[in-house]
Structure 1
């Protein structure tokens, strides 16, 4: 069986037209017809039939199964071509989430430079959801990302690097500090300034508020940790921070969250499950894992 036959089959079902499919691939219409016949001979079944009234191509159960498989095979084949192309060029695309890069990028970069790999690694910074999408569609080879554990796709190979927790950040003059055991419920009576949707912390913040059935007062969202620290320092709002980002300013008070169940969250290294860690790929994976084993960071 020729993989190109799967391409023809996939496009034919999409276009519903032999003529259009042939034009899309710059081949003759009989080429498409012969490809479908080869597939049907191989599987010894009928893949679709043409509806009498609408002339639409209607998949049989066998055709539906083959289309699902063809989508995966074609996607994986494209990823394999891209991966081998990068191996030939000795390049790798690494994605990293902003909150992770703030703290860990210098430590990651040092061994990369020492091993003379800097020119071979193209690093981009983006939010967790976008990182996962780009790894799945082959635009990134490896990503270091903060993720809710239950949201990760089964098509990914995931290496947990470290868990992390969230805390409330406030000015020492804030009335929350006057309570003996301040809670997240107490904090939600006051306005917050939080990181925006680029960061996982926004999702976690709203999940925790939902547990208490309280609509939070979000005064401001930002991707700038320094700005958040400034607003908290001036006692204009509370902050919601994790223990992986840049260190908060000295003098600000961190309050642990103990009255609600935080979701399980980790910094993970993620890649496509079928991607084999060899050569440069394995070198970078080893560097990432070693970096996060260093508890002194």
Structure 2
């Protein structure tokens, strides 16, 4: 079965016009017609219904089934081409969300430099939800992703590394700053500034809200963590962030949330399933696992 014939057919499904398909591929209209006839002969089924004038095209049930599978085939072929190109360049497209990156990468980079791997890693920045989509499309090879539930996807291999807690973040001058912990229900009259839908935080925030049985007042959402920290510091609103998002230099106060049960912030190493495991990919995966083990050991009380 000819790949070009499949591409012609897929474009015909979209455009419903032999003329438009021929123009798109810079070939003659008979070339497209013969391609479709070849496919029909090979499959032993009519893929399209033509009217007498050839002005309209109707896709048959068999044609619809073929189109669905062609779409998956072309998608996987595109992914394979990108992965082979990166294999030639000996690079790894590595997705790293800002919060996880700010916390982990300064330490992780030490391991990568020590093992001469840094030059083979191309960092891709973005929220966990965006990086997840890039992994699915084969645009990146690997990512450290945040989620509130274990990542289960037949196209991806996910390995849970660390669990963190969500916290309420306030200015040192805020009345809540002296609290050791807070119940989410106590925040009904507070104004929130939050990360937007590119991150997993809104999912966890909704879960806390549902458990507390009230609709919080959200006055601003952004993908820029530094802007939110500045707004929290100026007491424009209070924040809801995973504990590792705040460090001493921020001069902000993180308050543990008392509610039980509560969603965790899960950090997972996620890769595409069924990809060639190169030496670089295996080394980087192993270093990330070792670093996470050191992190977990440091957190375990003696």
TM-score, L = length of structure 2: 0.83
Equivalent residues of 2:46, 2:63 under 8 A apart: yes
Equivalent residues of 1:209, 1:215 under 8 A apart: yes
Unaligned runs of 5+ in 1: none
**What is the alpha-carbon distance in structure 1 between the residues aligned to residue 52 and residue 214 of structure 2?**
57
What's the CA shift for 1:54? 9.2
Q: Secondary structure at the match of 1:162?
A: strand
Unaligned runs of 5+ in 2: none
Partner of 2:57: 57
RMSD (CA atoms):
3.2
What's the CA shift for 1:108? 2.1
**What is the alpha-carbon distance in structure 1 between the residues aligned to residue 177 and residue 265 of structure 2?**
27
Q: Could you give the per-residue CA deviations for residues 235-289 of structure 1, whole angstroms, max 9, x where no partner exists? A: 6643322123243569865433233653454222223333232232323222333
**What is the alpha-carbon distance in structure 1 between the residues aligned to residue 259 and residue 204 of structure 2?**
14
Equivalent residues of 2:99, 2:244 under 8 A apart: yes
What's the CA shift for 1:2? 2.2
**What is the alpha-carbon distance in structure 2 between the residues aligned to residue 233 and residue 30 of structure 1?**
68
Partner of 1:90: 90
- Count of aligned residue pairs for this structure pair: 297
Alignment of 1:234-253 (within 5 A): 237-247=237-247, 253=253
Partner of 1:284: 284
Partner of 2:215: 215
Equivalent residues of 2:97, 2:144 under 8 A apart: yes
Alignment of 1:128-147 (within 5 A): 128-147=128-147
**What is the alpha-carbon distance in structure 2 between the residues aligned to residue 26 and residue 173 of structure 1?**
68
Equivalent residues of 1:156, 1:273 under 8 A apart: yes
**What is the alpha-carbon distance in structure 2 between the residues aligned to residue 110 and residue 179 of structure 1?**
36
Q: Could you give the per-residue CA deviations for residues 118-141 of structure 1, whole angstroms, max 9, x where no partner exists? A: 222211211122212222223222
User: Structure 1 segments of 4 or more deviating over 6 A?
Assistant: 177-181
Q: Secondary structure at the match of 2:158?
A: strand
Distance 1:171 1:81, change over 3 A: closer
Partner of 1:126: 126
Range 201-210 or range 231-240, more displaced: 231-240
Partner of 1:26: 26
Equivalent residues of 1:176, 1:187 under 8 A apart: no
Distance 1:244 1:253, change over 3 A: closer
Equivalent residues of 2:146, 2:267 under 8 A apart: yes
Distance 1:49 1:123, change over 3 A: same
**What is the alpha-carbon distance in structure 1 between the residues aligned to residue 288 and residue 179 of structure 2?**
41
Range 267-276 or range 47-56, more displaced: 47-56
**What is the alpha-carbon distance in structure 2 between the residues aligned to residue 278 and residue 25 of structure 1?**
36
Q: Secondary structure at the match of 1:144?
A: strand
**What is the alpha-carbon distance in structure 2 between the residues aligned to residue 199 and residue 122 of structure 1?**
21
TM-score, L = length of structure 1: 0.84
